[in-house]
Structures are given as structure tokens and as C-alpha cells.
Structure 1
């Protein structure tokens, strides 16, 4: 059994859909907060750094 409780802090309601300046700049394209998080998880898996992003 896994319990996943993602939290996006800082009042990011509008950024969930429109994207955030950090993610848009980092990846050089507009993307939602959820997409940015998914891409960062994928990158951590590919580079064997998952322990750095999970608690």
C-alpha cells in the first residue's frame, strides 16, 4: 500500500493550470505545475536520484 500526498505550496492555484515561471523557464516551454513535477520525477528516476526528491 502506498500513500501519496502531493502538496504544492505558496498559493499556486492559478499556476496549476497556467504554469509557473520557474518551470516554464527551466524547461523552456509553458507547462502546468503537475507536468513540471512529473518531469522532475522522471528525471530523478533516469539519473538515479529519487532519494533526493522523496521523504
Structure 2
């Protein structure tokens, strides 16, 4: 449940233009690899792919 909240918040931060690294640490992930894994599992795309769709 907490991880889901963090991932939703990460999506908001990425939409606001934050970098993937900054976003991961702001929402409480210590590992960028784990953040990417969880993000891909939930959204079926990497945080970088998500960010590039917004441009």
C-alpha cells in the first residue's frame, strides 16, 4: 500500500519535470534499480519511458 502511494507520487513528480534519480529519492527509494523495477511492474513502462512520453 505504501509502495503504491510512492509510485503514484513518483508519477506526479515525473510529470512535473523532475529527473528519475531525483524522483526516486524524493519518494523514498534508496535504490534506483529497485525503483525502476517497481515502477515498471506497476505502470508497464520505465520511469524514463514515462518521462519521454510527456515531451
The TM-score with structure 1 as length reference comes to 0.37
The higher radius of gyration belongs to 1
Q: Greater helix percent: which structure?
A: 2
